[in-house]
Structure 1
Amino acid sequence: MALFEKNWYTVPWKLVPNKIVRYPGGREIDRFRGIYPGADDGRPEAWVGSDTRTVNAAEKGDPNDGCAEVILPDGSKRYLFEAVEANPEAALGAAHIARNGAHVGVLVKLLDAEKQLGLQTHPTRPYAKEWFNSDYGKEESWYVIGKREDSPETPYVYMGFKEGVTREMFEEAYDRGDIRAMEDCCHKIPVEVGDAFFIQAGLPHAIGCGCFVAEVQEPSDITVGAHKLSHGTPEEQAFHKERLLGCYIYNGADFEENLRRYRIEPKTLRAGDWGEESVVIGKSQTPYFSFTRLAAKAPVELQRTGTPQIVLVLSGSGALRCGETAMDIQKADELFIPYGAGAITLEPKEETVLLLCNPAGADYGETE
């Protein structure tokens, strides 16, 4: 604890903005942060409040690639995982540690797709344990916060198998290396700002060109694509094929039923003269994480959840008041709220919108 004072865990912490090298994109993250004209620099993801490492961190030469840094109350910067490790109970709470270990337990991203991402899926927790030796699967969710106006196509997502698609049909296209045919097995859905989607483990999906989303998910970087290995022995190719095709869940539906399953309508959690807070993804979708959208035009106390929280400021400005401490906030700020923080009041200067993201076990007042 020499580097970390106990009272530091009683107030929110600002996070250091990052961008992660992945695939084409990144401009909309810059613009969201007020950087113009912004750059498509191959860093299309920001990992917010993350203590999760990218799957290829070692290849990049950075063993902590993907991990967020935090600005501590004395102005110093450390990795968030270091601050957690220094005092896990103050950072996370004993109940959270019992459920999730001494880890944040949720991963929040900003994701900007200049071009369509590859068709993919993610494993359930049992499948992840069997095939990837991981305690986490990768259920995830998207909240659309922007669209590229100069995108060559109306922004869209692929999501869910069409009715009647079988593993055999999908496998035939895989064997031919026909990615377009595999995509044609799935529904293509135009998106609008404010749309929310839940991506169940095993669901085929791809984010289309021009989409800028906030992604809340299990803290895992396991992705199962829809293509063969670029090289490998016959045995390696066979193992890859079995693991890949077995990860997808073949429970297709017609277009309307598919939307009913996976496009989520937020539910009002509380409202008043100050504004409204809605559950975007909650217990009705997954036990592994949740997040709410709070829009306030007057002071309102944040609902504490019994867990740490990751906060993303989508718009507006103001302050977060915690006891005698007031922290100025503005659009694109990223924050981590330790378990040990006291009551926090949002004092907006204008209508201010927050995403409040929770790990498993959070109690934010939602009923089933």
Structure 2
Amino acid sequence: MSSDNQPVALPANQPRQFYRGGAAIAALRDEDVAGRGPEDWVASTTTQFGKAEAGLSRLPDGRLLRDAVAADPVSWLGSGHVAEFGADTALLVKLLDAGQRLPVHCHPSNAFAAEHFGCRHGKTEAWVVIGTSGPDPTVYLGFREDVPPDVVEGWVAGQDAAAMLAALNPVRVSPGDAVFVPAGVPHAIGEGVFIVELQQPTDFSITLEWRGFLDGPDAGHLGLGYDKALGCVERRAQDVEALVRRTRALTGASVDLLVPRAAPFFRADRLHVSGRAALEPSFAVLVVLEGAGAVGPVAVHRGSTVVVPHAAGEVEVIGDVVAVRCRPPRVSDLGS
């Protein structure tokens, strides 16, 4: 049967990045870290900003997943999803291993992306923490207090990294934590944090803290100029408790990982399979964290990444497996 009707195991897909990392991905996959990068774009139909193909995943038969989905979207995504999104998975999944602190940055909303990039998707995202290292694994999420626009502009113009970071909410994280990051909310991921990242399928990033990370300011505003790009920044204070779920102690067959606000953008759950379990029909991306077994006809083990087409139907998972399952939003969750 063709790969468009059965789960498919995918190899690593690590386009070049501007920051250090990758050892945790190599360890998860039991691969040599040499030449690998800090991000693995899993089942990606999204390119890096301004690139023709970098970031796209290939199926084992050599086709780009993007092209396979475009050729048969209903098999891959299901008729309800196609009615809403067309041949668009509405999802990008990454493994991200922060070998250094990432810069303070944010992402556009749907409305901002539509106005300035002609794209229906902004870049709301979520981080499922699957590993940490070092003495203080921390992420930084949203401003602690409301910040006037001229203050943000001053920080960016002067590249005052200390002030930007101090203005954000520090959140200590450990495996099992899941963090929802709405579009516009400034954030940074600290050194030693290893995540499965779900996001809308774009590569739009407004980098507030470009010095020491990017070649210059022009690389940080996506060609808009900072006067316009900073219009996407959410300057209101954030209640981080409403954005974070701590799930490490939860061991049900399927553990919802994300806060309810994430539902219009994507879904994530952690599967705990001992013996066998049936998964309902859905386009899905699975990252196996522990154990070994099979997802349909595909043998899996720790570090396996699998894309499941909707046409595979009710897929059976066999063995002793812990995996993060990532899915697009239910069409019924999108609202008006």
**With structure 2 as the length reference, what TM-score do the two structures score?**
0.89
Asked whether 1:317 is paired with 2:298, we answer no
**Partner residue of 1:170 out of 152, 159, 171:** 152
Which residue among 197, 211, 215 is the counterpart of 1:215? Answer: 197
- Matches of 2:159 and 2:142 in 1, distance apart? 20
The separation in 2 between residues aligned to 1:239 and 1:294, in whole angstroms, is: 41
Letter in 1 for 2:271: L
SS in 2 for 1:96: helix
Cα 1:230–1:95 change in 2 (3 A) is same
Q: CA deviation at 1:198?
A: 0.2
2:306 alignment partner in structure 1: 335
Aligned to 2:71: 86
Aligned-partner Cα distance in 2 for 1:314–1:49? 17
In 1, Cα distance between equivalents of 2:136 and 2:276: 38
Q: 1:171 and 1:93, CA in 2 relative to 1: closer, same or farther beyond 3 A?
A: same
Contact 1:266 1:281 in 2 (8 A): no
**Per-residue Cα deviation, 1:232-260 (whole angstroms, up to 9, x for no partner):** 7xxx999522223211111114xxxx331
Q: Which residue of 1 aligns with 2:258?
A: 281
The alpha-carbon deviation at position 268 of structure 1 amounts to 11
Kindly tell me the number of residue pairs found equivalent between the two proteins: 326
For the pair 1:70 / 2:70, whether they are aligned, the reply is no
Contact persistence 2:292–2:302 (CA under 8 A): yes
2:72 counterpart letter in structure 1: N
- Which of 313, 329, 332 is equivalent to 1:360? 329
Shift of 1:171: 2.5
The verdict on how the C-alpha distance between 1:88 and 1:282 changes in structure 2, with shifts beyond 3 A counting, is: farther
For residues 139 and 242 of structure 2, the distance between their equivalents in structure 1, rounded to whole angstroms, comes to: 15
**Any idea what the Cα deviations from partners look like across 1:244-302, whole Å, max 9, x if unmatched?**
3211111114xxxx331221245999x8xxx5201112643340211111111221111
1:213–1:237 CA distance, 2 compared to 1 (3 A) = closer
> CA RMSD, aligned part only?
2.6
Alignment map for 1:225-304 (pairs within 5 Å):
225-227=207-209, 230=216, 240-253=225-238, 258-266=239-247, 275-281=252-258, 283-304=260-281
| Alpha-carbon distance in 1 for matches of 2:7, 2:88 | 17
Equivalent-residue separation in structure 2 for 1:353 and 1:82 (angstroms): 30
SS at match of 2:26: helix
Residues 128 and 267 (structure 1 numbering): CA distance in 2 closer, same or farther, change over 3 Å?
farther
Alignment deviations for residues 333-354 of structure 1 (CA, whole Å, 9 cap, x no partner): 1111111113211111x3x111
Distance verdict in 2 for CA 1:313–1:230, change over 3 Å: same
In structure 2, C-alpha distance between the alignment counterparts of 1:361 and 1:244, rounded to whole Å: 31
Task: Give the secondary-structure state (helix, strand or coil) at the position aligned to 1:171.
Answer: helix
User: In the TM superposition, what is the alpha-carbon distance from 1:362 to its structure 2 partner?
Assistant: 5.8
Q: Is the 8 A contact 1:14 1:334 kept in 2?
A: yes
Q: What is residue 173 of structure 2 aligned with on the other side?
A: 191
Give yes or no for contact 2:176–2:247 (8 Å, CA) kept in 1.
Answer: no
1:199 CA drift (Å): 0.3
Q: 1:48 aligns with which of 42, 59, 62?
A: 42
Structure 1 distance, partners of 2:47, 2:240, is 32
Distance (Å, rounded) in 2 between the aligned partners of 1:362 and 1:12: 22
In 1, distance between residues paired with 2:318 and 2:84?
33
Instruction: Describe the SS at the equivalent of 2:82.
Output: helix
Aligned to 2:311, what secondary structure does the other structure show? coil
Q: Could you list the structure 1 runs, at least 4 aligned residues long, displaced by more than 3 angstroms after superposition.
A: 236-239, 265-269
Instruction: Give the 3 Å change call, closer, same or farther, for CA 184–267 of structure 1 in structure 2.
Output: closer
TM norm structure 1: 0.81
Within a 5 Å distance, the mapping from 1:135-150 to structure 2 comes to 135-148=120-133
Distance 2:36 2:50 in 1: 15
Ranges in structure 1 where 5+ consecutive residues have no aligned partner: 58-62
**Residue identity opposite 1:159 in structure 2:** L
CA contact (8 A) 2:245 2:259 kept: no
Measured at CA, do residues 21 and 180 of structure 1 come closer, stay the same or move farther in structure 2, by a change above 3 Å? same
8 Å Cα contact 2:244-2:259 kept in structure 1: no
- 1:20 is aligned, of 15, 19, 26, to 15
Match of 1:60 in 2: none
* Per-residue deviation, 1:19: 1.4
